[in-house]
């Protein structure tokens, strides 16, 4: 069965795409067949793996016609990793899908037609129709949280949204965990954010934190996951550890 993990947080710039790309690539490196889905009109996961943002067949076509998923997936040069790319005009689908039947279940329908060990979905920073398609299709949610003072704000809202989705669109949905990103060891605030998170979420705080690491920020401009760009970097080690934890837990 596909294990489907949506990487989501309605807050922008918290490390969703960096986590989705590098978790997917690290799982693939561990020998798991992995599909990375870009469902964000910004298409950062698409360009971050070196693909152009104007491919003819993309997630747009899959949302329109779920059966087209096989023709939209692209094998990457990173062994075991396949991507379903996005395009900027995906943004229009928030509007065009607005009144259609089963509008929340298009991605779920498509994913019923493919078979992978893991499917990782990079969500946009909003709780619109696209994110709801991801959350309807997923079994688990992974929430990247930036280690900063405002991190806790919005998290409560996200946890409430998960509860609502469990009551309606997807009773199976579970929180896999919260992963602290862009941790700066010189900043004592990071420790405070972590203990605050622990207080509220206990063992749902993942047992690895992602350090602030310039190599992680550079890798997408070379179209590579960190494991291919600089496998000895702190960022690469952290994402390998996250992948091992995920592979054990889910």
Ligand X SMILES: Nc1ncnc2c1ncn2[C@@H]1O[C@H](COP(=O)(O)OP(=O)(O)OP(=O)(O)O)[C@@H](O)[C@H]1O
Tell which residue, 26, 12, 80, has the closest CA to residue 216. 26
Contact 182, 18 (CB under 8 A): no
Q: Whole-number minimum distance, CB 48 to Mg ion, in Å?
A: 9
In terms of CB distance, is 17 or 26 closer to ligand X?
Answer: 17
Q: Whole-number minimum distance, CB 107 to ligand X, in Å?
A: 18
Q: Which residues bind Mg ion (CB under 5 A)?
A: 16-17, 44
Three-class SS of residue 35? strand
Place of tokens 């960022």: 235
Helices (H) then strands (E): counts for the chain: 12, 7
217 near ligand X, rule: CB under 6 A: yes
Q: Whole-number minimum distance, CB 40 to ligand X, in Å?
A: 6
DSSP codes, 178-244: EEEESB-TT-HHHHHHHHHHHHHHGGGB-S--PBP-HHHHHGGGGT--HHHH-TTSHHHHHHHHHHH
Contact 165, 139 (CB under 8 A): no
Tokens of 2: 């596909």
Of 14-22, 25-33, 166-174, 195-203, the segment contacting ligand X by CB under 6 A is 14-22
18 near ligand X, rule: CB under 6 A: yes
Three-class SS of residue 245? helix
12 near ligand X, rule: CB under 6 A: yes
d(CA 3, CA 64): 23
d(CA 116, CA 174): 19
In terms of CB distance, is 16 or 140 closer to Mg ion?
Answer: 16
Tell which residue, 112, 118, 111, 110, has the closest CA to residue 34. 118
Strands 81-84 and 174-181 turn out to be unpaired
Among 4, 5, 17, 108, binds ligand X (CB under 6 A): 17
Among 3, 212, 227, 240, binds ligand X (CB under 6 A): 212
In terms of CB distance, is 38 or 61 closer to Mg ion?
Answer: 38
In terms of CB distance, is 53 or 166 closer to ligand X?
Answer: 53
Site string for ligand X, 122-161 (x = CB under 6 A): ---x------------------------------------
Q: Whole-number minimum distance, CB 67 to ligand X, in Å?
A: 28
Q: Whole-number minimum distance, CB 229 to Mg ion, in Å?
A: 18
Count CB neighbours of 69 within 10 A.
22
Interacting positions 53-92 with ligand X (CB under 6 A): none
13 near ligand X, rule: CB under 6 A: yes
Residue ranges in contact with ligand X by CB under 6 A: 12-18, 40, 42, 44, 125, 181-182, 210, 212-213, 216-217, 235
């Amino acid at each position: 069965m596909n294990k489907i993990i949506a990487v989501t947080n309605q807050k922008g710039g918290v490390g969703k795409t960096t986590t989705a790309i590098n978790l997917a690539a690290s799982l693939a490196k561990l020998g798991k067949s992995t599909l990375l889905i870009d469902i964000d009109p910004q298409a950062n996961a698409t360009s971050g793996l070196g693909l152009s943002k104007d491919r003819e067949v993309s997630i747009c076509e899959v949302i329109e016609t779920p059966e087209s998923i096989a023709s939209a997936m692209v094998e990457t040069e990173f062994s075991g990793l396949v991507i379903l790319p996005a395009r900027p005009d995906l943004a229009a689908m928030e509007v065009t899908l607005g009144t259609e039947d089963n509008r929340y279940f298009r991605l779920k329908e498509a994913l019923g037609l493919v078979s992978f060990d893991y499917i990782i979905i990079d969500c946009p920073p909003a709780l619109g129709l696209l994110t709801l398609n991801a959350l309807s299709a997923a079994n688990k949610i992974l929430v990247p949280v930036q280690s900063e003072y405002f991190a806790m704000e919005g998290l409560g809202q996200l946890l409430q949204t998960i509860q609502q989705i469990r009551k309606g669109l997807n009773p199976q949905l579970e929180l896999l965990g919260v992963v602290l990103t862009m941790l700066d060891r010189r900043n004592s605030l990071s420790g405070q954010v972590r203990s605050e998170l622990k207080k509220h979420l206990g063992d749902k705080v993942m047992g690895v934190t992602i350090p602030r690491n310039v190599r992680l920020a550079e890798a997408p401009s070379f179209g590579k996951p960190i494991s291919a760009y600089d496998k000895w970097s702190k960022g690469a080690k952290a994402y390998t550890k996250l992948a091992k934890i995920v592979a054990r837990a889910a």
